[in-house]
A and B are shown apart, each in its own frame.
Chain A
């Protein structure tokens, strides 16, 4: 009895932070509970999306007889409808094509630019770097109207090629900035050795700098891929025909028909459209987080 009193007084007299913070209950209340709420809220829309895509319409529209948080008789009808009755596979294919095309284009352009700015140092190279970075601050919402007229002038309206050419405007600034950071971390001595051995600049880039910058290239690549997969406003403004649309635009404009929304099909489409990015992301999580945080820290 006296022991517990002594302990209690000891707890009371020590600085409150160290002791109280480590105590289990307080830790539960201060860290795990809020964290749990955050995760629940951040993930709920995806759970809801997933569960809706496998629900039969009867359960979807009847919360009284069926628990809405669970499925009693799951069905693949929505996904089947999506894959066989709509142009969904075509939209997926177009989106993939655009994402891969614009990622490749911006990786090439930004690798060369970052190499020139960081390694071929010339007068004003920091300003060129800053200028490219400033381009990232120009939001697409300001550009899409004049860009639409430019795209029409080039005869690219309604063509996925327009998207492949336009997406680098927001991909190149980001990738260049990311790669400049990576090139900085590669010791310059390696290049000097190669120069002494008689390698040309392009050989140095291909044989020495690029292999060492592979993590940076992967980061820039997956970032670009995700950003172009998610892009919406340009794809909405420049593509007219149903067949050439990308997944986000097509779901919104082709699947939303009439006043009665096909929620099952809409959610199945959203789920299938999110999966490629989510899978891609889960494979490269560490690169992703490091590039996100690296870019902010720069």
Chain B
């Protein structure tokens, strides 16, 4: 199984540790992983701003980088959803379709494709799980509180395999954090207020670390936490699931 590692641009530039954890975790679970060096961005920032027509070159580039893999896996529900919903190229539609059908967000790849049932990771900490909307409602990584339907959560399922993780309950289990792409600057006041409220819910319930499947949401909440000088940290779920490996590597 050849896996193409899709590392979204802002993770590549600002959160390399998330890319490293994702790569190591997949390798540890027996995947043959490659990171195509020519990748940049999925095109979502333009598309969500109403400029989907400017994403053609990003699409072509994405197809060029990922067409030859059995699976494409990325540590971001939002970027994966964008590709799943919007990757098209009249010149390479077969390849585009292959990618749309074979791209997975990291946690769903672990639970649905690799069917991971146990992990050797250890992370003794009180953890708050932020359900990022695009992963949750777009990719159905977890049941949505609005629907009358049986609960499930792929990220939570994985976190429960990590020794020592104590998941804290939240008052609002799946409220949006307010990042929203360019929304975070164009609607700064509402975006920040949403973020403050989301962070407060985690803090109120004693979370020491806020984790999630999207670094964009985490980056937004981290910015607020750091401004508040709160001691709470944010970590991508890959960093927690991969925790053990880090410790071994350091020792």
Q: Do A and B come from one complex?
A: no
B residues whose Cβ falls under 8 Å from a Cβ of A: none
| Interface, chain A (partner B; CB < 8 A) | none
